[in-house]
Amino acid sequence: MTKAEQFTDPVAFHAEGPVWSPSWGGLRYVDMFAGDVLAVDADSHVTRRHVGVIAAALRPRQGGGAVIGVERGFVLEEPDGSLRSLPDVWDDTSLRFNDGACDPHGRFYCGSIGYHQTPGAASLYRLDPDGTVSRLFGDVTISNGLDWSPDGGTAYYADTTTRRIDAFDYDAVGGLSRRRAFVEVDGFPDGLTVDSEGHVWVAIYAGSAVRRYRPDGTLDGVVELPVSQVTACTFGGENLDELFITTTRENLPDGVQPAAGAVFSCRPGVKGKPVMAFAG
């Protein structure tokens, strides 16, 4: 059992989607409902930039800048820091983007959620480097964590309300295929990441923990947090040996768990993979 320590002040209401990239100087994450991207400096000081009504997920671009999932579409941060909005993916105002990640071929995936979490109303989408957007599948309620195995052949994905992490086969031409259950989760799986050994780390929303699962689905470790609403995790640091964990104040009364909304961290004794960047 490992305990995470507080890394930043609780400056976010709903911190999500942490990503470490040397191209932008370290750790970034989102304050989702504020529509802001937050950047952490070497002293754990946080600055923020407003990008839209919702800031759902982000990844670095191979040529510099970032791709950002916003409420109903995507924003490209250019290498010079300017922002360029792409057309909305849909018109339905009851849905928004939620979490996302890039595949080994530089395509950005982002899944949706209904504002009222309507069962089956959400989908998973893919933004290709040429700007084409594809709807990959629907019948999703809360599209959440997504990441790939070190060899790129398996993708892991969580639709939170299923209380399950699924696995897909993956290749460049066929994309995601052969969906099957990877592990049944005691709790609500949120954001996830895969380490360099192929183990899956998943944040447990309302569970005060991040759990590590072996490639065969066996529980292999737990990181405990002093707050309950744990949203996502990623590896970072110069050696990719620090686990950064985001949390939220969502559904918490005022004055309860005052550290909720902070980023926490620990060194669990393994390393993560370098982030996969968007090729567009």
Residue 195: name the closest of 264, 263, 267, 274 by CA: 274
Residue 42 falls inside a structural domain: yes
Residue 276 falls inside a structural domain: no
Residue 112 falls inside a structural domain: yes
Q: Is 43 noted as a catalytic residue in this protein?
A: no
Other C-beta atoms lying within 10 Å of the C-beta of residue 175: 17
Catalytic residue among 166, 190, 216, 220: 190
DSSP 8-state code for residue 244: E
Residue 154: name the closest of 216, 64, 202, 234 by CA: 216
Residue 271 falls inside a structural domain: no
pTM for the complete prediction?
Answer: 0.97
- Domain boundaries, position 255: 2-266
Domain count along the chain: 1
Residue 272 falls inside a structural domain: no
- Output phi, psi for 50, to 5 deg: -80, 130
- What CATH number does residue 228 fall under? 2.120.10.30
pLDDT in tens, the chain (280 residues): 899 999 999 999 999 999 999 999 999 999 999 999 999 998 889 999 999 999 999 999 999 999 999 999 999 999 999 999 999 999 999 999 999 999 999 999 999 999 999 999 999 999 999 999 999 999 999 999 999 999 999 999 999 999 999 999 999 999 999 999 999 999 999 999 999 999 999 999 999 999 999 999 999 999 999 999 999 999 999 999 999 999 999 999 999 999 999 999 999 999 999 999 999 9
Residue 217 falls inside a structural domain: yes
How far apart (Å, rounded) are the C-alpha atoms in residues 252 and 238?
34
Residue 125: name the closest of 109, 147, 146, 140 by CA: 109
